[in-house]
Amino acid sequence: MNRIAVIGYGGQGAWHCKQLLGSDVATLAGTYDIREVRCDAARESGIFVYESNDALLADPTVDAVVIATPNDSHEELVIRALRAGKHVICEKPVEMSVASFDRMAEAAREAGRLLTVHQNRRWDVDFLAMKAIVESGEIGDLIDIESRIHGSRGIPSDWRCTKEQGGGMMLDWGVHLIDQVLQIVGAPIEKIWCTTSHITNSEVDDGFKLEIYFEGGKSAHVEVATYNFLAMPRFYLRCKNGSALIEDWRKNAKVARLTAWCEKDVTPVQNAAGITKTMAPRDHLTLDTYEAPRPASDVHDFYRNFCRAIAGKEEPIVGLSEVRRVMQVMEAALASAESGQPVCTRI
């Protein structure tokens, strides 16, 4: 069993501690937080609290460290942990720029230690369902994908609303949705176009709409919003031979598979003030509709893979080249939003 310690006992640090307490591959060594109130909270939960980050990093029984602090502190803490000889799980986003990521990756190489990023939403069943539909080819080749997450409470009022600490929805939720889309569409990116919204916060984005154009013609729309009192569907997929939709991440995917393109006759539908055949819904004669099975998922697989990767038994599921690519997309997206122009690129 690997002994893992957690730096930062806020919302996400506490989540990691809970997972590690129930892990079958690792044990929780302890935690440290710069706020005494959070150290007290950890002690109340029966968790060992180190005196400082230095004390935690100096513990020779600790194999690996989770960094669960605000985004602007990741680089310094990750590099310190690597130089102390620890393997590191860094919370997402890895940092706030590609340059910062590169320094962290270089420190991992120099130290000969494993660095990975907690892209835990690769275990979301809605994402896994979409990925399975695309990979199975059951509705043909992908044309485009839309991935949205809509909330209605604005941006949280903690460090997430400050630019200095790496706030904003691009870095908070965008990092998950972009990572997921890049797992589904395996082609180089040629163009990025993004707009951000600032309804509840002027300093950082409280949402964005991002278009990603891939080589070969596929595209993705990624959208995060925090001022939507009715949410649009979580995922929408168009493929050459059908469509798939997930209305809400608690629901299964609905699939419509084309069984024949041509129809003998289409009965026109009365629509608003006119009739249409073009937009008339198809029926069972040319369309097979069904619910996709719910994929199995276990978040503990992240730690299982991490421990096997430390032992050199497998590659980390979240590889550094993937982490860098997501950071590149976010950087290009924010540059596009800033300039009001699309960014032509090769990512």
Ligand X SMILES: NC(=O)c1ccc[n+]([C@@H]2O[C@H](COP(=O)([O-])OP(=O)(O)OC[C@H]3O[C@@H](n4cnc5c(N)ncnc54)[C@H](O)[C@@H]3O)[C@@H](O)[C@H]2O)c1
- Residues near ligand X (CB under 6 A) are 7-13, 32-35, 38, 53, 68-71, 73, 91-92, 118, 120, 158-159, 172
Longest dimension (CA), the chain: 76
12 vs 219, which CB is nearer to ligand X?
12
Please name which of 207, 238, 234, 211 lies closest in space to residue 222, comparing C-alpha atoms: 211
Q: Which two tokens stand for residue 327?
A: 């950071």
120 vs 328, which CB is nearer to ligand X?
120
* Cβ at position 239, least distance to ligand X in Å: 29
* Cβ at position 11, least distance to ligand X in Å: 4
Interatomic CA distance for residues 72 and 15, integer angstroms: 20
Q: Counting beta carbons within 10 angstroms of the beta carbon of residue 337, is it exposed (0 to 12), middle (13 to 18) or buried (19 or more)? A: buried
69 vs 336, which CB is nearer to ligand X?
69
66 vs 244, which CB is nearer to ligand X?
66
* Cβ at position 340, least distance to ligand X in Å: 27
13 vs 316, which CB is nearer to ligand X?
13
17 vs 237, which CB is nearer to ligand X?
17
Q: Which two tokens stand for residue 232?
A: 């649009």
* Cβ at position 34, least distance to ligand X in Å: 4
Interatomic CA distance for residues 60 and 260, integer angstroms: 65
The DSSP secondary structure of 286-336, one letter per residue, reads TEEEEEPPPPP--THHHHHHHHHHHTTSS--SS-HHHHHHHHHHHHHHHHH
Interatomic CA distance for residues 49 and 63, integer angstroms: 17
* Cβ at position 155, least distance to ligand X in Å: 13
* Cβ at position 318, least distance to ligand X in Å: 11
159 vs 227, which CB is nearer to ligand X?
159
Please name which of 60, 59, 22, 28 lies closest in space to residue 42, comparing C-alpha atoms: 28
State the sign of the Cα–Cα–Cα–Cα dihedral 337, 183, 92, 325: negative
Which residues, in sequence order, are CB contacts of 269 under 8 Å at separation 6+? 275, 276, 277, 279, 280, 281
Report the relative pairing of strands 142-150 and 219-225 from DSSP bridges.
parallel
Minimal CB distance to ligand X: which residue?
Answer: 10
Please name which of 127, 122, 167, 145 lies closest in space to residue 326, comparing C-alpha atoms: 122
* Cβ at position 299, least distance to ligand X in Å: 10
5 vs 133, which CB is nearer to ligand X?
5
Which residues, in sequence order, are CB contacts of 168 under 8 Å at separation 6+? 155, 160, 196, 204, 205, 206
* Cβ at position 307, least distance to ligand X in Å: 18
Interatomic CA distance for residues 296 and 335, integer angstroms: 38
73 vs 162, which CB is nearer to ligand X?
73
* Cβ at position 32, least distance to ligand X in Å: 6
